[in-house]
Amino acid sequence: SFSFLLFFSIFLFVFLAGIPTFSAASGPFTSYAVRRWDFLSVEYEWTTKEDAGHMRVPICYGSPYITAMYSGMKPRLSKPPGPALLLVNGTDVAARGTDPLTITTSALNWTLATNYNQNWVFYTQNEVQWTCTMEGCTAEESDLVVRAAHNPSERHFLYRSAYATGAELEVVVDDDDAAIHFRWEVQGEGQLAMFALPHHRQILSHATRIDPALSVHTGLAGKISAVIGSDWYMSEGLSELGESFWDGGATIDADKAQAIIAQLQVDKPTEVIANQDPYTFGKRIARLARLALIAKELGEEGYAMDVARLMEQSLSIALGFGDQATNEDPLVYETRYNKAPGRREAGGGARR
């Protein structure tokens, strides 16, 4: 569930039709790295050859904004490739030709030329002077925190100043209950707003403040709403593990056994799992484990051992171990992003 919340935060910005490019007024970024990470966030840092400063972007679960923290450089915001930048705070920048627009605001509003409503708003805590053309906008100040939101509501302006840069996760298990605590690391002023999924809301403390005016309706996750404050306290009852098929407390009906054994032979794998992305590999290796367990329960020890050997070979390939290091896309630890887990790229590098 936590990973889905992070995925949804990124989906709001990346998979929409066009995302602005963040850079520095002096030029594009030339290097970047993962600066730090925890259970609920990861922070990236970008630098340029021309500036001694940097831009840092903390990606936290459920953030309603993209947050870019500039130090020692002036922000430059470029329009997405493809759609034209029609309006900046209601002014037609294309109609101005080569005459740039100078505007002072704490909410820089872009309207893009797409086939559906698409606005990007860039918030700053205080009013900032921007110089804008059809290609984008450049701030006249350095050391700014710029927060971007896609098609935002009025509530985004209210919560623009406080932002999370990381978090601590604490889980305490007492018998059949788990107490879960998210403690967000907060910078800026005012109150922090972070999105919570429906199943988070079901277990949040009754004292939790929810702002229903800052919410997003999704087809996959349902309605996600903003939790206000730097601490999330959740309490969840843990499932009681009773007798199940796998602990030997249950048996297969004798009249079904032969049919299942026959189907096992039909489903028996014959090749190792190789050159799969990590997501697909996990699902396929789990399928093999389930076949081995069923075979063992039915007394088909040879079948179970054959599948176990196939799993061992597949895992060796996936992890690049020993003589089995033939995977075209193994899991690796790379160095370009400060040794964050990644996948190999052509040329010896790796990507997350």
pLDDT at 73 over 70: yes
Q: In whole angstroms, how far apart are CA 61 and each of 10, 30, 82, 162, 189? A: 9, 27, 29, 15, 20
pLDDT at 64 over 50: yes
Confidence of residue 340 (pLDDT cuts 50, 70, 90): very low
222-276 pLDDT, tens digit per residue, is 889 999 999 999 999 987 755 555 555 567 788 999 999 999 999 999 888 876 7
Question: What does residue 260 show for φ and ψ, rounded to 5 degrees?
Answer: -70, -40
The span from the CA of 57 to the CA of 68, in Å, is 5
| Residue percentage of the chain with pLDDT more than 90 | 57
Confidence of residue 278 (pLDDT cuts 50, 70, 90): confident
Confidence of residue 6 (pLDDT cuts 50, 70, 90): very low
pLDDT at 184 over 90: yes
Read off the pLDDT of each residue in 56-70 and give the average, rounded to a whole number.
95
pTM above 0.85, yes or no: no
pLDDT at 4 over 50: no
Residue 63 is predicted with a pLDDT of 95
Q: Are 315 and 273 in contact (CB under 8 A)?
A: no
Least confident of 7-11, 119-123, 173-177, 241-245: 7-11
